[in-house]
């Protein structure tokens, strides 16, 4: 008959600790594998990067994703608000023309600056943001943007500076793009 000797408590602790470290290493590796790498050089650096730095990078990436998700949720809510307005108008049998006037947009070219004024009978943050996006696409730097309500009319004002390449024909191009956008936006309601 063999004598059975239980493992010493010290050996058990060592085994448990080794297993815990191996498990943590696997979890770190799994986390690091889902964080996108910018390029192969960065990937080589990450393999040599200390574990706390890898965790910090993962944390920052998750925070960026969270911010992006919040912006997308806000945009979805804005779009859903436009859709609800359109549905409520059509379900009541009213057309856009019966309910309200189309928005009016004015673009004032002041040399190195553009002033955009949007006047509408409904508040549309989406349209406001889209106008800012178009200005930025065309190389204009938005300096000031705001809106206010007077009676039942909203006045949106955007001041922007334009680069030398935007003078003249660039301002005309921006103006036509913005006017076409506002027209399409209103007709889509």
CATH of the domain at 119: 3.30.70.260
Last residue of a domain, which of 95, 116, 145? 95
b/e sequence 49-59, b meaning 16+ C-beta within 10 Å: beeeebeebee
Residues 128 and 171 in one domain: yes
The 113-120 sheet, strands edge to edge: 104-109, 113-120, 153-161, 141-150
Beta-ladder partners of 160? 114, 142
Rounded to the nearest integer, the mean pLDDT of the chain is 77
pLDDT bucket at 22, cuts 50 / 70 / 90 = very high
In a shared domain, residues 87 and 104:
no
Residues of the chain above pLDDT 70, percent: 72
pLDDT for 108 equals: 86
Of 79, 95, 111, which closes a domain? Answer: 95
Number of domains observed in the structure of the chain? 2
- Cβ pair 101, 119 in contact under 8 A: no
pLDDT band at 5 (very low <50, low <70, confident <90, very high): low
pLDDT over 70 at 95, yes or no: no
What torsion do the CA atoms of 37, 41, 42, 47 make, to the nearest 10 degrees? Answer: 100
Place 21 in a pLDDT band, splitting at 50, 70 and 90.
very high
**Are 158 and 181 in the same domain?**
yes
Averaged pLDDT for residues 170-178: 82
CA-CA distance, 54 to 124, in Å (whole number)? 42
Assign 20 a pLDDT band (cuts: 50, 70, 90): very high
Highest mean pLDDT pick, 20-34, 67-81, 154-168: 20-34
């Amino acid at each position: 008959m063999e004598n059975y000797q239980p493992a010493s408590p010290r050996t058990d602790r060592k085994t448990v600790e080794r297993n815990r470290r191996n498990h943590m290493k696997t979890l770190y590796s799994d986390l690091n594998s889902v964080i996108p790498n910018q390029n192969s050089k960065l990937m080589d650096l990450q393999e040599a990067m200390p574990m706390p730095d890898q965790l910090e990078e993962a944390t920052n990436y998750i925070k960026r994703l969270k911010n992006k998700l919040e912006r997308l949720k806000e945009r979805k809510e804005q779009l859903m608000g436009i859709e609800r307005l359109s549905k409520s108008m059509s379900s009541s049998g009213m057309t856009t023309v019966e309910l309200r006037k189309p928005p009016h947009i004015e673009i004032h070219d002041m040399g190195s600056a553009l002033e955009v004024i949007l006047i509408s009978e409904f508040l549309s943050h989406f349209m406001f943001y889209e106008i800012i996006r178009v200005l930025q696409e065309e190389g204009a730097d938005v300096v000031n943007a705001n809106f206010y309500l007077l009676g039942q009319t909203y006045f949106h004002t955007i001041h922007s500076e334009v680069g030398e390449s935007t003078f003249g024909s660039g301002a005309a191009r921006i103006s036509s793009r913005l006017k076409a956008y506002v027209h399409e936006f209103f007709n889509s309601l």
